[in-house]
Amino acid sequence: MCKNFLGTRLSWNRLLGTAGVGVGLLVFPAVGAETNAAGANAVPGLAATPPMGWNSWNTFGPDVSATVVCGVADKIVDLGLKNLGYQYVVIDDHWEGGRDAAGHLLANPKKFPEGIKPLADYIHAKGLKLGIYSDAGDQTCGGEVGSFGHEEEDAAAFASWGVDYVKYDYCNAPDDFMTAIERYTKMGKALKATGRPMVFSICEWGPRSPWLWGRNVGGNLWRVSFDVGDMWDTPHNTHSCIGILAAIDASCNHEALAGPGGWNDPDMLVVGMGNKGNIKGGGCTVAEYQTQMSMWCMLAAPLMIGCDIRNADEETRRILTNAEAIAVDQDTLGRQGNRVARTGSADVWCRTLADGNLAVALLNRGDQPQKISADWKDLGLKAGATQAVRDLWAHKGLGNHADKLTLTVEPHATMLLRLSPVSEQVKN
């Protein structure tokens, strides 16, 4: 098992106390205990591995439409993304068309002239699943109608339309910790009460520590960072948008809280954005995009594509369709990787996999090539144990290594590796 970089971690109660919440309010397992049990409002069996799919926000923002969504769904199938596990097609903000006189939620008649149900039918016919967006406030982040005060009827509407995934934002809502828990609990209960399995995505961005309570309110994933922009780095995780590195750092030390049914979410992939679309930030290099994919897989993070896959270039398709990397993300053990060593601008990350192998990432945060070493003691391996090393991007073996592995990593790049034990018989 991978060694913990920080040593002793805080207890749940101390974490809750730090956040200003009464310890007696919620009951949590001790850190290090199994966290795979579903919360009270969760639907058993949902999100057994991190959800994969596509979300409209990064590219289309307010320009989302039924035409766009159908075109993307077609491409998910045509490019083989569906067969790799990308199954949720999520309509983000600006699909809404207000409410009717009875308070029922409506779709924008210009963007979705037939409503959501026929669109869901189209998506389902392709073997895919439909996701939709709402907000725990009176208004969404984009100023559309929110679900506060309408949780039960909106959840019922989503179920009747055939929705499979609900992203629930927290704009235009009170800042305090307790109100967030109450509002997400209410929607979690409402979704469960419909009887239709719907993945519940808690999009709270992290200020109220949703990793502490997300599973208990019925969440299947919860944001640990602000929105990731199309940029490599920003100094701090304090507001949207942040860079890829800031999101990686925001994901540290939450690994004990993730597992089947509930996942830490560092936001969507910006792979292939190329500084185009609804979000910008200057764009990233191919190495930086590949680092995001590598590290999201190490973090057992949801893989939600944000680029316009209808026009994806060869490098974007190569990154998004790496089956060996995706296998790490979707590993059934569900243990999130953690940082086990840092030396200057060099990180070593480790993730234990279901078959006993280790996924290891060597991340070069710096601007120059550098040699990065992974010591067996940091990986939790026995001294002298021989490991076969495979490069998951080059798709080739790097030979057998014992005690230590040292590789040269290019600037802003990540070596994503799989280590498997070599038996004494094979060595001899």
Closest to 170 in 3D by CA, of 147, 193, 195: 147
Q: Can you tell me which residue has the tokens 């060595």?
A: 427
Active-site option among 227, 249, 347, 378: 227
Six-digit token string for 306: 């944000």
Task: Note every long-range contact of 113-120, with CB atoms under 8 Å and residues 24 or more positions apart, other chains counting.
Answer: 113/66, 114/66, 115/161, 116/91, 116/161, 116/162, 116/163, 117/160, 117/161, 117/162, 119/66, 119/69, 119/70, 120/161, 120/162, 120/163
Q: Is 88 helix (H, G, I), strand (E, B) or coil?
A: strand
Q: HEC states along 134-203?
A: EECCCECCCCCECCCCCHHHHHHHHHHHCCCEEEEECCCCCCCHHHHHHHHHHHHHHHHHCCCCCEEEEE
Rounded to whole angstroms, how far apart are CA atoms 25 and 217? 13
Exposed / middle / buried, residue 383 (Cβ in 10 Å: 0-12, 13-18, 19+) = exposed
Residues in the chain: 428
Catalytic residue among 169, 308, 347, 378: 169
What is d(CA 234, CA 240) in angstroms, rounded to the nearest whole number?
10
Instruction: Phi first, then psi: give them for residue 241, nearest 5 degrees.
Output: -100, 155
Show the tokens assigned to 94. Answer: 């600006």
Q: Tell me, what DSSP letter sits at residue 66?
A: H
Element (H, E) at 221: strand 221-223
Has 92 been annotated as catalytic?
no
Alpha helices in 37-134 (DSSP H): 57-60, 66-78, 81-84, 117-125
Cα 342 to Cα 90, 295, 372, 379: the distances in Å are: 36, 15, 10, 13
Catalytic status, residue 176: no
Residue type present at position 59: T
**To which H or E segment does residue 408 belong?**
strand 404-409
CB-based contact 186:178 (threshold 8 Å)? no
CA distance linking residue 395 with residue 416, whole number of Å: 10
DSSP 8-state secondary structure symbol assigned to residue 87:
-
What are the catalytic residues?
169, 227
